[in-house]
Structure 1
Amino acid sequence: MMRIAILQMTAVPGDVAANLEQIETAAAQAAAGGADLLIAPELATTGYGAGDVIADLAEAAEGPQVRQLTALSEKHRLALVAGFAERDGEQLFNSLVMVDGGTAPGFYRKTHLYGDYERALFTPGDMDSALRSFHGLKLGFLICYDVEFPENVRRLARAGADAVLVPTALPQGPFAGFIAATVVPVRAFENQVFVVYANHGGDDDNFSYAGLSRAIGPDGRCLAASDTDEAALLFADIEPDAFDESRRANTYLADLRET
């Protein structure tokens, strides 16, 4: 079993220090609650809605933000996944990092950019199915809009992922509830994997966020959820053996025919 904590976070746009402080507070609470892994939202360190200043705050993969997250992981003895703006030469990527104490960090770059706001800032990442082993499970990674494309979750599931972790910045809007409460559970069910969706809450000068963070089991059942846009820390237990019956009944991956 793996216990995860989901940070539904009201980030301070453009204030990396304040956002890292929020993540540290959540890490301490998550560790005290027995969590093995804490997941923070998309662009958690800069704030999603910081706008053009994100380009000034973007850092290389080995930069201070990742080093500080690694130090928090070591201090609180749990793994962390958080979104940050990654600079690689002249290119900026909407990225996430997974840090786990003294082990080498793992990275993922968002492949499907949403809207003019993101496309003006970032370069899309390559389609990458790299997995990370953790507590006996294989973890795959997507960011926000990526999970709304069924091909992305299917790609990770076929590569062997047991769980897909999705830092996100889902804004409020007419479809937000449907995406969080229907699309995300369907992605879990149709691939028989866990999906963990960690969103921002509150608002900034550019966006109001839907909250609605959640963890979904392979049978589509909600294991933990926020029903509001307020800041929150959620806990869920990931127990693969508890879903053996669902996987026996819903053999989508085994029955999939190639086109």
Structure 2
Amino acid sequence: MAGLCLVLDQSGTAGSEADDLRRLAARTDEAAKMGAGLLLLPELDWGGYGHAETTRTRALSRIELQARLAPMARTNAVDIVIGYPEQDGGAIHNSVLWVGARGELVANYRKLHLWGDYERAVFTAGDNRPPLVARHGLTFGLLICFDLDHAVTAQDLARRGADVILVSSATSAPYHMVPRAQAPARAYENAVFLAFCNRSDSDGETPFIGESRVLAPDASILAANEARDAQMIAARIVPQDFAEWRQLHSYHDALRLDLYPVP
């Protein structure tokens, strides 16, 4: 069958580094059995969310994390996109790393919009717009959680040519409107596929809500998790199925830039 098989794992658990590596290897194996070309994981899947000292202890450079993930990516011929605390000198960034199926470093993105006192105390915000990644015959954009609340971020990626937006998230109660309303709206208003992978574990006092989903450019659901279900979900991204829709609903191209200038 044509298209890319995209698998989301919202389990979002974190333990020791050894535990995380075993879990990631097992989940990558399972994703490969599901036919995945790409496995998307939640925000701060590596190292956990909400514990500042653990975050500082588990932070790695992009090269260090790539080295840990490369063997499982190569073994299964699966791209891995994972949220992690990125160490860069004296700063820690809330980042997403993309490791390719040959173990290569494909992309790294640092979250621009930090959420709440915890994130602002622990992380340094990124300075660069999200990268575009040409892969699997598609163009991808990357966002992390609160980035999605700012509509211009998805619009910018669509205007620059993104076909698919990958969102790693750690959305908690009471923000059920993010997967149920905001994510579909971003897909529809930009005529893009959007994959929203959200943690479903309960880390300390933060009850993450899960509800991960893959949305088509018309906001229809291609695959979805029920609430905090830990099962992995798969969706096939077939651009041809929505080519006409995207052509007729390119609303970002119709924006009155003379009145609403967008960088």
TM-score relative to the length of structure 1? 0.94
What SS is found at the alignment partner of 1:232? coil
Asked if 2 retains the 8 angstrom alpha-carbon contact of 1:129 and 1:159, the reply is no
Give the counterpart letter for 1:62 in structure 2: I
| Aligned 1:202-217 pairs, distance under 5 A | 202-217=201-216
Q: How does 1:226-241 map to 2 (within 5 A)?
A: 226-241=225-240
Counting matched residue pairs gives 255
1:170-249 pair list within 5 angstroms: 170-173=171-174, 176-249=175-248
Please list every run of at least 4 consecutive aligned residues from structure 1 whose deviation after the TM superposition is greater than 6 angstroms: none
Displacement after TM superposition at 1:134 (Å)? 0.9
Structure 1 segment 110-189 matched on structure 2, within 5 A: 110-173=111-174, 176-189=175-188
**Structure 1 spans left out of the alignment, 5+ residues:** none
Look up the match of 2:9.
7
What is the alpha-carbon distance in structure 2 between the residues aligned to residue 257 and residue 21 of structure 1? 51
Instruction: Specify the SS of the correspondent of 2:245.
Output: helix
Aligned-residue offset at 1:256: 1.7
The Cα of 1:214 is off from its aligned counterpart by 0.5
Q: Residue type matched to 1:182 in 2?
A: A
Aligned equivalents of 1:26, 1:165: Cα separation in 2: 18
Distance in 1 (alpha carbons) for counterparts of 2:56 and 2:249 = 44
Asked if the contact 2:142/2:166 (under 8 Å) is kept, the reply is yes
Deviations 1:121-154 (A, max 9, x none): 0011013242111111011100011111100001
State yes or no: 1:77 paired with 2:77.
yes
Amino acid of the residue matched to residue 93 of structure 2? F
Matched, 1:50 2:51: yes
Distance 1:87 1:181 in 2: 33
TM-superposed deviation, 1:50: 3.0
Of residues 101-110 and 75-84 in structure 1, the stretch that sits farther from structure 2 once superposed is 101-110
Could you tell me which runs of 5 or more consecutive residues in structure 2 were left unpaired when the two chains were aligned: none
TM-score calculated relative to the size of structure 2? 0.93
- % identical aligned pairs: 34
Measured in 2, the distance between the counterparts of 1:179 and 1:152 equals 15
Q: CA RMSD of the aligned region, Å?
A: 1.3
Classify 1:50/1:76 alpha carbon distance in 2 versus 1 (closer, same or farther; 3 Å). farther
Deviation at 1:206, TM superposition (A): 3.1
Q: Compared with structure 1, are the counterparts of its residues 102 and 57 closer, same or farther at alpha carbon in structure 2 (3 Å cutoff)? A: closer
What's the offset of the Cα at 1:10? 3.8
Q: Secondary structure, in 3 states, of the residue corresponding to 2:87?
A: strand
Alpha carbons of structure 1 residues 254 and 12: separation in structure 2 relative to 1, 3 Å: closer
